[in-house]
């Protein structure tokens, strides 16, 4: 059986991959936009959508689930105050991935992931 956060392996050991994705989701919530590779952006989208859905539910259990993934308390507060209100009428689709030009060094496809406006 696969782990609930399992998806693309991204060429990293599990602990490194999960720590990287947790940090990127936290940055996305705090800054509302992150530029990264296309594969990482798609994985961050999966996690961010779940986190915002937890914020909309608003229970103590959901707050603790968010705190277990996000690395900053300020990001947890933002999910439950700002983002839950912003997306209260939206059923999913809280983020968008915009493809960009390939990276110069290794030609990896780049993408920008951002939170949708209300």
* pLDDT tens by residue, the chain, 118 residues: 345 555 789 899 999 999 999 999 999 999 999 999 999 999 999 999 999 999 999 999 999 999 999 999 999 999 999 999 999 999 999 999 999 999 999 999 999 999 999 7
Assigned domain for 101 exists: yes
Task: Output the domain CATH number for residue 42.
Answer: 3.90.1030.10
Q: Tell me, what's the pLDDT at 74?
A: 97
Q: Tell me, what's the pLDDT at 31?
A: 97
| CA distance linking residue 38 with residue 76, whole number of Å | 25
Number of domains in the chain: 1
| CA distance linking residue 25 with residue 29, whole number of Å | 6
Q: Name the nearest CA neighbour of 8 among 43, 33, 35.
A: 43
Domain that holds residue 107: 16-115
């Amino acid at each position: 059986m696969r782990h609930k956060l399992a998806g693309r392996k991204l060429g990293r050991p599990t602990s490194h991959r999960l720590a990287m994705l947790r940090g990127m989701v936290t940055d996305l919530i705090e800054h509302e936009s992150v530029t990264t590779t296309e594969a990482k952006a798609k994985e961050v989208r999966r996690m961010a959508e779940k986190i915002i859905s937890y914020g909309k539910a608003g229970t103590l259990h959901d707050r603790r689930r968010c705190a277990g993934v996000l690395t900053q308390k300020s990001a947890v507060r933002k999910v439950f105050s700002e983002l839950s209100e912003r997306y209260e009428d939206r059923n999913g689709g809280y983020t968008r991935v915009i493809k960009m030009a390939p990276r110069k060094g290794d030609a990896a496809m780049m993408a920008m992931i951002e939170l949708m406006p209300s």
